[in-house]
Structure 1
Amino acid sequence: MPEYAPLDLPEHPKLAGNIAHFARALRRAGVPIGPGRLIDAIEAVQAAGFTEKRDFYWTLHACFVSRPEHRAVFGQIFRLYWRDPRYLEHMMAAMLPAVRGVQEDRAAQAAEKRAAEALLDGATVSETEPDEDEQGTEIEIDASLTTSADEQLKSLDFEQMSTDEMARAKAMLARMTLPVDSIPSRRAALAHSGRIDRARSLRAAMRFGGEMRDLKWVQPKLRYPNLVVLCDISGSMSQYSRVVLHFLHSVANAKGAGWARVHAFTFGTRLTNITRHLGTRDVDAALRAAGAEAQDWEGGTRIGSCLEAFNRDWSRRVLGQGAVVLLITDGLDRGEADDLARQMQRLHLSARRLIWINPLLRWDEFAPKARGIAAMLPHVDSFRAGHSIASLEELAAVISRRDDVGERDRLIRMLSN
């Protein structure tokens, strides 16, 4: 923690209001803070005093931070909110490069953009340094979004979004869920109705001399499948893949969503397992680590060889128990179509459902003319678009429906003509 100058608060500080606003910014950035912690923080600051920023920092830190991954977010928002104008200017430039027109020398670290977004949503920055009189003024926040603006954003293509629209889209995706239905297993569990358990019923009758007093009932025990995601990160898919991985991070960290486990793999010229990185609660840190491990971002595409590596090395580990597979790619492959079809068939037979998400389907004139697309299409259960928030919402609504085929049948008919 660097040395801090004495804390410069307004002449008539509204201490409770300032701390409450600061707590709301932390909560928007993902730090779980309830009313109890806020009250404790206000009382702690009143008891400890706030003559120095260092003491003030660690007092609030003790009240608001309970997990290691929240320290970076707390530190960034603290510097932004408690009047560090130069750092504020840098973070606005990192968030809105189109407004600034230049990129700063230092790239934003994990949690910095999310901290700035949580605190500065709707704020603007001037091109000049703020005056000394303006440094103590409170930042105005306008987080209101009209319903019509939200609907327009949902239908907008990810590649056409501005920096601000992309930040809003990622925030919406973080709140989305991907629910799944349970699967009846062969194992049975005790129940009040269902099927008679003859063995338990007879054992219970033996306690009363063979008199059948109570019948024991069982029902199939419910279990939940794995979600396995194979995400194309080649040059033509890079923008879509980054957004989808944001969505998958929220799915992987959602409690009670139903999935037994979420496995994620990226592929371009090689296959990379990024499952462990999605377990990091900070989405910026998670995607940063995933991007560092996957060295083939925005490179070429070898779908067939990457699917072969998955089928050989990973399918038996992650595709058990009726897993659902999401294949996210445009299908533009450089390899042999016959090899690709053979690997797709093997993947299809190993999964309970194989759903292909293709952003090219956003075009009304889309046709399966490419050899890779024609080879893959017969071996999927459903073929859907994945270019916007609305298309991902449609996926969430039908992912558990065994009868959903999307655009598969229509495009297969085009192949046969």
Structure 2
Amino acid sequence: MPDLPELAASFTAALQDAGIAVGPDRTRSFARAVTVLAPSTTRELRHCALATLVSEREQIEPFDAVFRQVFGARADSPVQRGQPGDPTRDLLNTVPGRVPGTRPGTADRHREAGPQSGKAPVPLAASPLDRLAGRDFAELSPEELTRLSQAMHTLVLRTPTRPSRRHRTAQRGARIDVRRTLSASRRTGGYPLRLRRFVPRTRPRDLVVLCDISGSMEPYARAMLQLLYCASRASRAEVFTFATRLTRLTPVLRRSGPDDALAQAGRAAPDWSGGTRIADCLAEFNERFGRRGMAHGAVIAIISDGWDTGAPADLATHMARLSRVAYRVVWVNPRTASPRYRPLVGGMAAALPYCDAVVSAHSLAALDDFTAALSAPRRRR
């Protein structure tokens, strides 16, 4: 039986597969709610999940289907609630994070000895995922990065919507659907008593991620590759890496699983941990891909610390060209997490005027700012 972090990760992953957007922040909120409230019935556990994981009324029906599939939950009758036969009581054993059938730990002994000793129950410590959420990616060991990979796989990168060429019927629209109006008028003797209208459909904007894999970004390379794998799973997402050359990783990441994709991505980028030529790589992207329409109206995310061996003026020129065709440019710099950071590096100073947002994304908790920056509307520069 999995512990609470694994249980929350598998449950939210199943919700994600069912079409319910659940990010790392909501996964942590669900695990924290179970830890604090210690639900003893299926009904209480469902209420914890509803309050932390569901944001729209339309999501309740698919949520209940996933809940029954994951927990085997049935509507618990009054005689069963809290009894030993309750599946949720057996699953959590009334202590969040405790695996049934194991010996009670220190926190369990304090909870059981609470009424006799007269002391207040000692709350459980935070889950391993919560303890790692605020730590810098560069400080994590390979084992800890592997532990975070489950939460990274539930990450959803959303972009703003754009009007599509297709239309859909609506009660109130700016344009009249003449074909449907005339078709409906045949039922009323040829008189169009009711005007049919339509509005354009919307679809998410394209997402393009360019990740710096040079030597200065090596401490964050493993975590950033996990982030790139999540980006490749988003609809219409393109992934590139760059150091001394530009490498397109989208086909590699899409046709492989997470572990194989990361290994193949490392082999596909021969300039791993090399020098940095951001201006040249941006120029190549603009010429080979941007002019073909990949960057037009798209959200561009550049992951780099700004260290560049080229001239800052060249980087400013290519950033200006990119910003004119892109809908939004988000620069991800893990170094900005330090309060002493100043954009004094030539490359970062040259690119800053053409960025709509600059975020750190140096930890799992900081990825919330990154996802918010991607989905934010465009601002006037």
What range describes the TM-score normalised by the shorter chain of this pair? 0.5 to 0.7
Could you tell me how far apart the structure 2 residues matched to 1:343 and 1:291 are?
Answer: 27
Could you tell me how far apart the structure 1 residues matched to 2:369 and 2:347 are?
Answer: 25
In the TM superposition, residue 205 of structure 1 has moved relative to its aligned partner by 7.2
Q: Does 2:317 correspond to 1:342?
A: yes
**Counterpart amino acid of residue 374 in structure 1:** A
- Please give the residue correspondences for 1:1-400 in structure 2 after superposition, counting only pairs within 5 Å: 146-147=125-126, 149-185=128-164, 187-197=166-176, 199-200=178-179, 203-204=182-183, 207=186, 211-253=191-233, 259-317=234-292, 319=294, 322-400=297-375
Cα contact 1:201–1:214 (8 A) shared by 2: no
In the TM superposition, residue 338 of structure 1 has moved relative to its aligned partner by 1.0
Go from structure 1 to structure 2 and tell me whether the alpha carbon gap of 1:166 and 1:318 turns closer, same or farther (over 3 Å shift): farther
SS of equivalent to 1:168: helix
Which protein has greater RCO, CA pairs closer than 8 Å, 6+ apart? Answer: 2
Go from structure 1 to structure 2 and tell me whether the alpha carbon gap of 1:213 and 1:242 turns closer, same or farther (over 3 Å shift): same
**Counterpart amino acid of residue 362 in structure 1:** A
Could you tell me how far apart the structure 1 residues matched to 2:263 and 2:378 are?
Answer: 37
Go from structure 1 to structure 2 and tell me whether the alpha carbon gap of 1:345 and 1:157 turns closer, same or farther (over 3 Å shift): same
SS of equivalent to 1:173: helix
In the TM superposition, residue 212 of structure 1 has moved relative to its aligned partner by 1.9
Cα contact 2:242–2:281 (8 A) shared by 1: yes
In the TM superposition, residue 204 of structure 1 has moved relative to its aligned partner by 3.6
5+ residue gaps, structure 1, are 1-16, 33-139, 254-258, 410-417
Cα contact 1:252–1:278 (8 A) shared by 2: yes
Residue deviations 1:162-211, cap 9 Å, x none? Answer: 23322212222122222334323354322233234153366347746652
Could you tell me how far apart the structure 2 residues matched to 1:198 and 1:163 are?
Answer: 58
SS of equivalent to 1:308: helix
SS of equivalent to 1:390: coil
5+ residue gaps, structure 2, are 15-102, 106-123
SS of equivalent to 2:194: coil
Could you tell me how far apart the structure 1 residues matched to 2:200 and 2:170 are?
Answer: 9
Cα contact 1:319–1:351 (8 A) shared by 2: no
Q: CA RMSD in A?
A: 3.4
Go from structure 1 to structure 2 and tell me whether the alpha carbon gap of 1:215 and 1:150 turns closer, same or farther (over 3 Å shift): same
Go from structure 1 to structure 2 and tell me whether the alpha carbon gap of 1:199 and 1:357 turns closer, same or farther (over 3 Å shift): same
Cα contact 1:201–1:212 (8 A) shared by 2: no
The aligned counterpart of 2:119 is: none
Cα contact 1:229–1:264 (8 A) shared by 2: yes
The aligned counterpart of 1:90 is: none
**Counterpart amino acid of residue 133 in structure 2:** K
Go from structure 1 to structure 2 and tell me whether the alpha carbon gap of 1:321 and 1:372 turns closer, same or farther (over 3 Å shift): closer
Go from structure 1 to structure 2 and tell me whether the alpha carbon gap of 1:272 and 1:377 turns closer, same or farther (over 3 Å shift): same
Go from structure 1 to structure 2 and tell me whether the alpha carbon gap of 1:264 and 1:198 turns closer, same or farther (over 3 Å shift): closer
How many residues get paired?
272
Could you tell me how far apart the structure 2 residues matched to 1:324 and 1:194 are?
Answer: 28
